Structure 1
């Protein structure tokens, strides 16, 4: 069992969530918060992996000139705008 001191401000916030019926208990609020943190940490891990791959590519010379990338993106977004208009 985990016991946590949330402090008055967070404790009040959690209590209001339970009082309004948004959650059934303080434990439910805390579980939801921890699930959200898990999701955020998973997204951050994916970002870290993508950054590491990008840095590795750059170090090994697997890069494209920025002008090529900009030209490709401009064409892509211009065609997207034409399709929706």
Structure 2
């Protein structure tokens, strides 16, 4: 694991230490790791939502059923064989 040094105002340092003292986290490092992990998950969720919105706005909706998947599979297999 790598180390990183950060500077915090006294009020933030006290808050972080309070979270650790309350027993929510085992150490300051664990608290900061949890915050970073939550932010990573939030950013991933935002990206997924952006992709879903882009998909919804990308055009006319189509019905995706077993027949559609079979046609898609056949098309991709044919394309794969053409490339060989």
Whether these two folds match at TM > 0.5 is yes
Which position in structure 1 is the counterpart of 2:12? 10
Partners of 1:39 and 1:22 in 2: CA distance = 20
* Bigger helix share: 1
Which position in structure 1 is the counterpart of 2:33? 31
Aligned residues: 59
Residue 54 (structure 1) aligned with residue 56 (structure 2): yes
Higher Cα Rg: structure 1 or 2?
A: 2
Gaps of 5+ in 1: 64-85
* SS of corresponding position for 1:35: helix
TM-score for the superposition, normalised by structure 1:
0.61
